[in-house]
Amino acid sequence: MVERLREQGVRDERVLAAMAAVPRHLFVEEALAHRAYEDTALPLGFQQTISQPFVVARMIELLAVGRPLGKTLEVGTGCGYQAAVLSHMATDVYSVERIAPLLERAKRNLRHLRLPNVRLKHADGSLGLPEAAPFDTIIVAAAGPTIPQALLDQLAPGGRLLMPVGPSWEQVLVMMERRANGFSETRLDPVRFVPLVAGVE
């Protein structure tokens, strides 16, 4: 999988090492485990998907250009795969998920890996995680029409946020960087993510 990521253009050795360190088959259901290292999104149940390895690597690489990830918030834990990858590069990972049974599964998946710097929380990530803010990095694994203001407010000076923005048929990754006098916005790759949904269940 890592060789394929390299061929697809992922260059950051820190990212490639983190991707190599996390066994993706532990995060997908047994019936799909033989497909865990294909470059494809796979179903998690609850109409959610585990992100495609290339997209996970690409997003983390963009966030880590020229700097460490520092204290990181992930919105949309899903099965916990991306949180595990992030844990190898960030000082602390806070990951929030709105669907309780998915979060329970992520907890079980991550327990085996013993990652002391990952904390999971059942919450609506569109509100961020005020009790742990500010964050150096915010990575959103679900798409919305706009970037929630609460997430921008919880970004530390110099911090970066990456989120898929737009309707399902034309989402792009949007990078927001907090500068001394406001935010810089960069529109990047076209992507396809499940929707960011308000409230918890």
In the bound complex, what is the minimum distance in angstroms from residue 144's beta carbon to ligand SAH? Answer: 8
Q: How far apart (Å, rounded) are the C-alpha atoms in residues 169 and 46?
A: 21
Binding mask 165-194 for ligand SAH (x = CB under 6 A): -----------------------------x
Sign of CA dihedral 16, 21, 25, 29: negative
The residues that are catalytic are: 51
Give yes or no for residue 147 binding ligand SAH (CB under 6 A): no
Shortest spacing between CB 48 and ligand SAH, in angstroms: 4
Coil, helix or strand at residue 179: strand
Rounded CA separation 180/142 (Å): 28
Rounded CA separation 7/32 (Å) = 24
Taking the complex as a whole, the smallest distance from the CB of residue 55 to ligand SAH amounts, in Å, to: 9
Q: Is the CB of 27 or the CB of 70 nearer to ligand SAH?
A: 27
Asked whether the beta carbons of 112 and 84 are under 8 A apart, the reply is no
Q: Which of residues 45-104 bind ligand SAH (CB under 6 A)?
A: 48-51, 75-76, 78-79, 81-82, 96-99, 102
Of the candidates 54, 52, 86, the one whose C-alpha atom is nearest the C-alpha of residue 71 is 86
The binding site for ligand SAH (CB under 6 A) comprises 48-51, 75-76, 78-79, 81-82, 96-99, 102, 124-126, 141-142, 194, 196-198
